[in-house]
Amino acid sequence: MAASAGRQRTALTAGAFLPTLLPAALFAVLAAAIPEVAAGAVLRGALDWVPSLGIRLSFRIDGLSLTFATLITGIGALIMLYSGQYLHGHPHYRRFMLFLTAFMLSMLGLVLADNLITLFVFWELTTLTSYLLIGFDHGTAKSRRSALQALLVTATGGLALLAGFILMGLAGGSFELSDLLADPRALAAHPWYPAILVLVLLGAFTKSAQVPFHFWLPNAMAAPTPVSAYLHSATMVKGGVYLLARLHPGLGGTDAWFWALTLAGATTAVFASLMALRQSDLKQALAYTTLMALGTLTLFLASDVAVAVTAAVTFLVVHSLYKAALFLVVGIVDHATGTRDVARLSGLGRALPVTAAAAALSALSMAGFPPFLGFIGKELTYKGALALSSVPYSVAAAVLTANALMVAVAGIVALRPFWGRAEPEPEPGRVPHEAPWPMWVGPLALAVLGTVLGLRPGLAEALVGPGVAAVLPGGEAYELKLWHGVNVPLILSIATFAIGGAIYALRRPLAAALVRAGAASPLDFDRGWDRLLDGFKVFAAGLTRIVQPGRLRAYLRFTFLTLLGVLAVTLALRTGLPAPPDLPALSWRELAVLALIAGGTGLVVTTDSRVAAVAGLGVVGIGVAIVFIVYGAPDVAITQLLVETLVVVLVAVALLRLPFLYRDGRVLHRPWDAALAAGIGLATTAALLLVVEAPPDRRVTDFYEVAAVPEAYGRNIVNVILVDFRALDTLGEIAVVLVAALGALVLLRGVAGRARG
């Protein structure tokens, strides 16, 4: 038994350590680059991806990307170590670690990318991998709903972001971020700037869960605790913040940027702080404090004042350290007691002394007490708010409100569960106990680091200073230190502690009042999301009943109506219709071809016989083939004749085996079909005349003429295009024809079999 237990412990230790090797190694490499980047260096690397479109896998490490990358890898290593114990014995542990590693690499690609398209690819990869992680417990309806909600909200924002990136690349003449941001004011002066700003902010706000897109983040707490600690406190949700910081030099500095970020950030910070106070589930409380932090970061990135940007970068580091630690602490509490309900937790400090110490240090940094790094960050938020040129006192009041509420929530999360009279058994049958060391070493290390950086703020400046320089080129970071003398920010800090203490003392009646206010409020974004999805389902079902009634004629009719609508709108947006072409006098041969085509068309429109209608279509096709012959395209004419003959024979054989339809109301009238066909013909003709009026653009033609022989070894340009330059497209067309032929063969054999039966 002892040997077996020893082998189990060895396997457990190896399973906990192995996944940490990759993030730990990456963290070591990035940490080694800190002195070089702090000295002003920018490290670059690139690989051509789609050179014809100007898309490169280009990466750069500057102060901003290095700050994010070190947080991603350092916290990622600790969380993977934690996960090895937290999910030990889980049947899908390996899948979980695969998802988590894929997310980490996607997030690294996002913050290191120097190309807009590359950044977007990694942006969407973080969306996909976070969906897999949030829905890890896919056996529960709650996890599936939360994962789908996060996917739809962030992916919708991602589509807007892609449109914004394309406009940015076209407006700036490059998709390389380094080139776009080299001239900080070029994008802001472009006529497309308003559209670019709206699209980029939609992408950033959905990813960073700004109001009114905030509701998906608290619901994502259905994921396992390591996911909550990693994705929704330290990394993924800060992807939107990173984007705002990265694009600050190019899109910032305008009134639209300032007011959009200020209003969204301040609203999110205050709203989320109030929502955090009413939560009884510890993870939900921390989720809303994450929203508060994201709102605060967005708020300070609105400004182009150095102290405000310094506050944003410093608070980014502060929040990542204490929030990841507190999430991991909550996971330990849940693991030890079986509950996260704060009303059922008390006096755990005796049974979980190390976890209690980590919780206390992290909560003190969260509340902004000295000598922790959180105190320096909080002082900077007040300095940054008061330094704003517009509405400084309103911003300072919003920050004071949010910070005071954070003091109360920090007490609820870290004071209430661990101190006071111990509960006998928060969950029947479970005795609280300290977690194994792979679980508590992470939160303790993060909590201690927040303390050390508070005592030695110069260490934090190695990341904060270059980060500020990347966000605000030419700006210098405000000095980080614990004591700046007696000033307004210090007075506001003291007021924060006093107000926060009072809120904590009155937390129960205040939480009850907030719950009642929420129940009475007509605004419920989460239920509104459900109603929105239900509305989409009803709309989709109704539209499907109309356009897909189960009749092929209806499918074709709606398809051609859509085509006609697109052509009509295009023509209507033109300033004028095309001029009628100068047609030469037609010979009797050409008139005979026109008469043949018109006769076939008339037969199709007027006959009640399906076989005759197919024959009429064949006549039209033969007339078109004759046109090709007259104008010198015999190869196309032969193809047309072969296709028309094959279609007429196959369709006629099929129709002969179908039941005859009498004129008793079941035969569909064709005047509407004829009118639709005439409309499409006229609209298509008008569109072609518009194209012909414009001078020809020979760039594509010249390319094929030059490249046909040396690259494809062929002089017939049409064949070269089909076989070489469009080989995959042609292969797909052949596959479609083959599948259709096989389907027709199966149907015909089935009909023949039933007829013999």
Residue 341 DSSP SS3 = strand
pLDDT of residue 667: 45
Beta carbons within 10 angstroms of residue 588's beta carbon: 7
Tell me whether the omega of the peptide bond preceding residue 659 falls within 30 degrees of 0, making it cis: no
Nearest to 117 by CA among 177, 181, 195, 198: 177
Asked if 523 and 425 count as a contact pair (C-beta separation under 8 A), the reply is no
pLDDT of residue 756: 58
Nearest to 457 by CA among 518, 373, 536, 540: 373
Amino acid at 627: V
Beta carbons within 10 angstroms of residue 444's beta carbon: 22
Token pair 């605004």: residue: 523
The whole-angstrom separation of Cα 365 and Cα 410 is 9
How many Cα atoms are found within 13 Å in the side-chain-facing hemisphere of 296? Answer: 35
Token pair 């356009």: residue: 547
pLDDT of residue 8: 41
pLDDT of residue 417: 87
pLDDT of residue 2: 37
Q: What is the CA radius of gyration of the chain?
A: 34
What's the CA angle centered on 541, arms 535 and 547, to 5 degrees?
130
Block mean pLDDT (10 aa), the chain, length 757? 40 64 93 91 87 81 93 93 86 90 94 94 94 89 91 94 95 90 86 95 94 89 87 78 94 92 94 91 91 93 91 93 92 87 85 92 93 92 86 90 93 84 63 85 94 91 90 82 87 94 91 86 83 91 87 85 89 75 76 88 81 84 87 81 80 70 50 85 86 81 86 84 82 83 75 58
Q: How many helices (H) and strands (E) does the chain have?
A: 31, 2
Element (H, E) at 595: helix 588-606
Residue 43 DSSP SS3 = strand
Token pair 């005349």: residue: 689
Pairing of strands 43-50, 55-61: antiparallel
The whole-angstrom separation of Cα 627 and Cα 632 is 9
Residue 61 DSSP SS3 = strand
Residue 71, Cβ density class (10 Å: 0-12 exposed, 13-18 middle, ≥19 buried): buried
Residue 670 DSSP SS3 = coil
Asked if 262 and 308 count as a contact pair (C-beta separation under 8 A), the reply is no
Amino acid at 438: P
pLDDT of residue 4: 39
The sign one gets for the Cα dihedral 605, 610, 615, 617 is positive
Q: Which residues contact 397 (CB under 8 A, 6 or more apart)?
A: none
CA-to-CA dists, residue 287 to 100, 650, 722, angstroms:
19, 64, 56
Q: What's this model's pTM, rounded to 2 decimal places?
A: 0.82
- Per-residue tokens: 239: 């992807």
The sign one gets for the Cα dihedral 4, 7, 12, 15 is negative
Token pair 């063969």: residue: 745
Asked if 674 and 605 count as a contact pair (C-beta separation under 8 A), the reply is yes
Nearest to 376 by CA among 295, 459, 271, 266: 459
- List the beta bridge partners of residue 61: 43
- Per-residue tokens: 546: 């109309």
Residue 236 DSSP SS3 = coil
Beta carbons within 10 angstroms of residue 46's beta carbon: 14
- Per-residue tokens: 225: 């605790």
pLDDT of residue 429: 59
First to last CA, the chain: 72
Residue 259 DSSP SS3 = helix
